[in-house]
Structure 1
């Protein structure tokens, strides 16, 4: 059954994007000096900060001889949605997002290199305008790279949804707030495109199997496109920090 009317007669989305077009991504590594690694990322109007501390020696109660202890904390600023909220930090939703973030990052970090160690990763959503979790994964990935922590590959995340143009299904990539609020399905995928592995797959609503592969394919293409943006940001950061030897 066709869902909300999210495409114009010209096939454009409510914010003017084409179905396969990402929002503009801006990012910067090393935005703080106190953490071992940090990053700031804007994905459209969704804005996220990430900070990494470690690796450092884990507390005795958390020591894991097989690998590193990864501690993740996801939070949203009280002003992030533009609405007054009294929701405390550490609420059930934030705890769930922290668990998902940990699952994604553990899949990417070479945890076997850091026995009896701990890495703390903090992400803060400063402004939420759709696909906040995806933006957090992307910012955390950059912060880990900035901290010099070995990873199997760049891990990135993208969301996808489904719209219809007439009777034809049209999957949408990088879902914005208005599209999320329309009540349709939203599929979030976190993956390492260079290895082809998926670290997380979460769906907000049920979706007919006839359309699942279509939406998943659009989300994976979004991950590949985002990976290219993050890779370029890392290279630009390294180039800025490079100093030529004196002649």
Structure 2
């Protein structure tokens, strides 16, 4: 399949290094301490923050920092696949861990000892780049909640198809089985908080 035309355009009309249109809004969940929606093209995500609050399970309480928890889920209508996935499936658990670890790298947890911060992220519509969209939504929701942070995390994915590097993969490109790299950075501090590489095929780079 040809993912970039001879004219240098991808299937959705973008150039290889062009991102999709972004849209963000905070304060979208009234009863949450902080919330945000984030859209990358047709991918739509919502995040809600509860806390800092009292630790529900005292056995998990930490005297020197806050406990950060994260739950990731996909709405049943988020993709064309209407099969209901069980809550806590392997992929959801893995993405929850990625989001939590990325957020822990920017939250000043030592300022909120013996407390708990819960991050809930749900994909409303999936068209590639869901991990990055979730991270971007979560960091905005944390800021909306007034959680002290070192910096805001920004995230984007990139891929490599038919010997062409592509920025911000959509669903068709993401499903092609090529390498997919998700990066999260703290731009003000110039630090990388996430670098995850996924691939279903062996990498073959053209010789110079």
TM range, normalised to the smaller chain? over 0.9
Q: Which runs of no fewer than 5 residues in structure 1 stay unpaired?
A: 212-247
Provide the rounded CA distance (Å) in 2 between the counterparts of 1:208 and 1:97.
Answer: 24
Q: Is 1:174 aligned with 2:198?
A: no
> For each residue in 1:55-77, what CA deviation from the matched residue of structure 2 results, as whole angstroms up to 9, or x when unmatched?
01213211111211001000001
User: 1:101: which partner in 2?
Assistant: 99
RMSD across aligned C-alpha pairs, in angstroms? 1.6
Q: Is 1:191 aligned with 2:185?
A: yes
Q: CA deviation at 1:170?
A: 3.2
User: 2:11: which partner in 1?
Assistant: 14
Provide the rounded CA distance (Å) in 2 between the counterparts of 1:5 and 1:152.
Answer: 42
Q: Higher helix fraction: Structure 1 or Structure 2?
A: 1
User: 1:43: which partner in 2?
Assistant: 40
Provide the rounded CA distance (Å) in 2 between the counterparts of 1:74 and 1:66.
Answer: 26
Out of 20, 25, 28, the residue aligned to residue 22 of structure 2 is 25
Q: Give the structure-2-normalised TM-score.
A: 0.93
Q: Bigger shift: 58-67 or 91-100?
A: 58-67
Provide the rounded CA distance (Å) in 2 between the counterparts of 1:209 and 1:157.
Answer: 26
User: 2:140: which partner in 1?
Assistant: 142
Q: Is 1:124 aligned with 2:122?
A: yes
Q: Higher strand fraction: Structure 1 or Structure 2?
A: 2
Q: Give the structure-1-normalised TM-score.
A: 0.79
Q: Is the 8 A contact 2:68 2:100 kept in 1?
A: yes
What stretches of structure 1 move > 3 A for 4+ residues in a row?
206-211
